[in-house]
Structure 1
Amino acid sequence: MTSPPTTNVPPNAASNMTLASYRFPSHRLRRQQQESDRIPLVLVACGSFSPITFLHMRMFEMANDFARMNTNFEVVGGYLSPVSDAYKKAGLAPSIHRVRMCELAAEETSNWLMVDPWEAIQPEYSPTAAVLDHFEHEINGVRGGILSADGESRRPVKIMLLAGADLISTMSSPGVWAEKDLDHILGSFGAMIVERSGTDMEDALANLSPWEENIYVIQQMIQNDGMYNSPSNLHDISHADYDGVVSSTKIRLLLKRDLSITYLIPSPVIEYITEHRLYVDEDTKSKEKQPISK
Structure 2
Amino acid sequence: MAPTKVVLLSCGAFNPPTIMHLRMFEIARDHLQRMEYHKVIGGVISPVHDEYGKKDLVSSTHRCAMLRHALRSSDWIRLSSWECQQESWSRTRVVLAYHQNQINAVLNDNLDSPNKKQRREELHWVPDDVKYHSEGSVRVKLLCGADLLESFGTPGLWSEEDIDTIVGQHGLVVITREGTNPYKFIYESDLLTKYQNNITIVTEWISNEVSSTKIRRALRRSESVKYLLEEPVIDYIMKEGLYGTKDNKYLLYPEYNQSQSFFLTPSPSDVNMESPSPTSHPTNGIDYGDSSMQCNFSGGESYASKPKNGPVTYIRVERVEDPQDSDRFSNEENTRRSGMGYPGQAVQIIATAAGENKVHKQGLSRPACLL
Taking structure 1 as the reference length, what is the TM-score of the superposition?
A: 0.72
Partner of 1:88: 53
Rate the CA distance shift 1:147–1:77 in 2: closer, same or farther, 3 A. Answer: closer
Give the partner amino acid of 1:194: I
Q: Which moved more, 1:192-201 or 1:252-261?
A: 192-201
Partner of 1:100: 65
CA distance in 2, matches of 1:181, 1:175: 12
Q: Is the 8 A contact 2:238 2:245 kept in 1?
A: no
- Where 2:75 maps in the other structure, the secondary structure is coil
Q: Which moved more, 1:170-179 or 1:44-53?
A: 170-179
Within the candidate set 11, 34, 44, 1:79 is matched to 44
Rate the CA distance shift 1:147–1:92 in 2: closer, same or farther, 3 A. Answer: closer
Q: Is the 8 A contact 2:6 2:141 kept in 1?
A: yes
Structure index of larger Rg: 2
Partner of 2:202: 218
CA distance in 2, matches of 1:266, 1:136: 29
Partner of 1:261: 225
Partner of 1:125: 89
Partner of 1:43: 8
Rate the CA distance shift 1:50–1:80 in 2: closer, same or farther, 3 A. Answer: same
Partner of 2:31: 66
The 5-angstrom pairing of residues 108-257 of structure 1 reads 108-144=72-108, 154-206=135-187, 207=189, 208-224=192-208, 245-257=209-221
Q: Cα offset for 1:176?
A: 2.0
Taking structure 2 as the reference length, what is the TM-score of the superposition?
A: 0.58
Q: Cα offset for 1:110?
A: 0.7
- The answer on 1:270 being equivalent to 2:254 is no
Rate the CA distance shift 1:43–1:73 in 2: closer, same or farther, 3 A. Answer: same
CA distance in 1, matches of 2:216, 2:155: 30
Give the partner amino acid of 1:73: H
Q: Cα offset for 1:279?
A: 0.3
Give the partner amino acid of 2:184: D
Kindly, what percent of the aligned residue pairs are identical?
Answer: 38
Q: Cα offset for 1:147?
A: 7.2
Root-mean-square deviation (CA, aligned residues, Å) is 2.1
CA distance in 1, matches of 2:227, 2:246: 22
Residues 104-161 of structure 1, C-alpha deviations (whole Å, 9 max, x = no match):
111x21111100000011121100000001111111123439979xx7x831101100
Query: Runs of at least 4 residues of structure 1 off by over 3 A?
Result: 145-148
CA distance in 2, matches of 1:160, 1:196: 19
CA distance in 2, matches of 1:142, 1:43: 17
Q: Is the 8 A contact 2:41 2:129 kept in 1?
A: no
CA distance in 1, matches of 2:245, 2:75: 34
CA distance in 1, matches of 2:160, 2:224: 42
Residues 166-219 of structure 1, C-alpha deviations (whole Å, 9 max, x = no match):
100101334321000000000000010000001232332121211111110100
Q: Which consecutive unaligned segments of at least 5 residues does structure 2 have?
A: 110-127, 248-371
CA distance in 1, matches of 2:129, 2:74: 23
- Where 2:204 maps in the other structure, the secondary structure is coil
Q: Is the 8 A contact 2:19 2:230 kept in 1?
A: yes
CA distance in 2, matches of 1:188, 1:171: 16
Q: Which consecutive unaligned segments of at least 5 residues does structure 1 have?
A: 1-35, 225-244, 284-294
